[in-house]
Amino acid sequence: MPKRNPGKRAPDRTGSAEKEPGARARKLDGRPIKHRLRLRRASIAKLCWFLCGYVVLVALAGWLVDRQTGTGTFFHFSAWLFPTVIALAFLFETVDSAAGMGFGTALTPLLLALGHDPLTVVPTLLIVQAITGLVTASAHHEFQNVQFSIRKGLNEATRLMLLIALSGVAAVIVSIVLVYLAFKLPASIIESYVAILVLVMGIVALVQRIGPRGTPAFRPKRMIGFAVVAGINKGIGAGGYGPVVTLGQLYAGVYEKSAAAITSLAEAWVSVAGAITFFAITAAGIRLDLELLPSLLAGSLLAAIGSPYLVRILPNRIISYLIPGYAMIIAAFLLAKLYLS
């Protein structure tokens, strides 16, 4: 019987970061829940710094709104913090950070129904999603749901994120310019398009769950088409991005936990491009209203940290049901609003 060499480790059979983006999360899922509950001291210290930055960022957003309106209400928080919007932002960002979808898709029609103009809702959501996407992706990385790396070359998770982001950035810029500057589509058409798209993705998700099971091989090139369609959605209505990109990653063979994390970071860069484009077209006489910015940040930023930790704790089989299940809920909500209102 051959002797074991104590100086060498057995090969890792769970995959590696170089071969597929979900290797880190897959390895963590194999450990006991008490290990997944425990955080490093460095992670706790980062959370404390985040809370300090959270207060400063929300206050800065309030100051910007006060400067824009010129009402001198900065010290009257009730004038620029809306409890209903804060609660909605927290709720939908919690699920968005876990399932990779739902924040813009669900909030856009809700805020429009509350009487806010599309030029108030869409650019503000893009700004918020740019910030929360970066925070959420950092939290997912810190809590080992994914591993982004640029040292000694890009790993697979980072390559996939860049592929999705770059395709989406080009699409979001073109869609914003065409819809809001060239064609100027009415809000009803924008809402209808997003509703139909999410319905289709919900049906695809349902078929995926009830169809033959099995993990498809990782094929990142499949994501190019999904990323372009998602970027167009993001520019048109600030929603419909997450369902396409996240479910597209499952089709491309990405581990569910890592798919949600990759979507968050890719969506952040696409949202940055969309927000910059909106500010650029203000030169054509379009005025942007950012009154919802403080409230949306106040609710969503807290969820952007808490939800990735919840993903770390939960088994991946729960996340694998949450993603397509939530897609169907979004589809049903938008469909009911479209045809029953």
259 close to 202: Cβ distance less than 8 angstroms: no
The predicted-structure confidence for 45-69, as pLDDT tens digits, reads as follows 999 999 999 999 999 988 888 887 7
Nearest-10 crossing angle of helices 256-280, 83-99:
130
Whether 187 is covered by a domain: the verdict is yes
On average, the pLDDT of the chain sits at: 81
Mean pLDDT of 226-255: 81
What span, in angstroms and rounded, lies between the C-alpha atoms of 192 and 181? 19
105 close to 240: Cβ distance less than 8 angstroms: yes
When mean pLDDT is compared over 20-24, 134-138, 190-194, 322-326, the highest value belongs to 134-138
DSSP state letters, 4-52: P-TTSPPP-TT--TTT-TTHHHHHHHTS-HHHHH---HHHHHHHHHHHH
What span, in angstroms and rounded, lies between the C-alpha atoms of 14 and 29? 11
Whether 180 is covered by a domain: the verdict is yes
Domain holding 203, by residue range, is 40-148+155-340
Whether 138 is covered by a domain: the verdict is yes
DSSP state letters, 141-197: HHTTS-----TTS--HHHHHHHHHHHHHHHHHHHHHIIIIIII---HHHHHHHHHHH
Total of domains in the chain: 1
Whether 27 is covered by a domain: the verdict is no
Q: Could you tell me the pLDDT band of residue 210, with boundaries at 50, 70 and 90?
A: low
Q: Could you tell me the pLDDT band of residue 238, with boundaries at 50, 70 and 90?
A: low
Mean pLDDT of 67-85: 77
Whether 12 is covered by a domain: the verdict is no
What span, in angstroms and rounded, lies between the C-alpha atoms of 269 and 245? 14
Whether 19 is covered by a domain: the verdict is no
Q: Indicate whether 311 pLDDT > 70.
A: yes
Q: Has this prediction a pTM greater than 0.75? A: yes
Please give the radius of gyration of the chain, using alpha carbons only, rounded to the nearest integer: 21
Q: Could you tell me the pLDDT band of residue 212, with boundaries at 50, 70 and 90?
A: low
Burial of 253: CB neighbours in 10 Å, binned 0-12, 13-18, 19+: middle
Mean pLDDT of 92-114: 85
Whether 284 is covered by a domain: the verdict is yes
DSSP state letters, 52-77: HHHHHHHHHHHHHHHHHHT---TT-G
**329: its two tokens:** 């809920």
**In the prediction, which pLDDT does 13 show?**
38
**In the prediction, which pLDDT does 3 show?**
47
Q: Could you tell me the pLDDT band of residue 341, with boundaries at 50, 70 and 90?
A: low
The predicted-structure confidence for 169-200, as pLDDT tens digits, reads as follows 888 888 878 776 666 666 567 667 767 776 77
Q: How far is CA 85 from CA 77, 90, 110, 114, in A?
A: 14, 9, 10, 10
Whether 239 is covered by a domain: the verdict is yes
Q: Could you tell me the pLDDT band of residue 213, with boundaries at 50, 70 and 90?
A: low
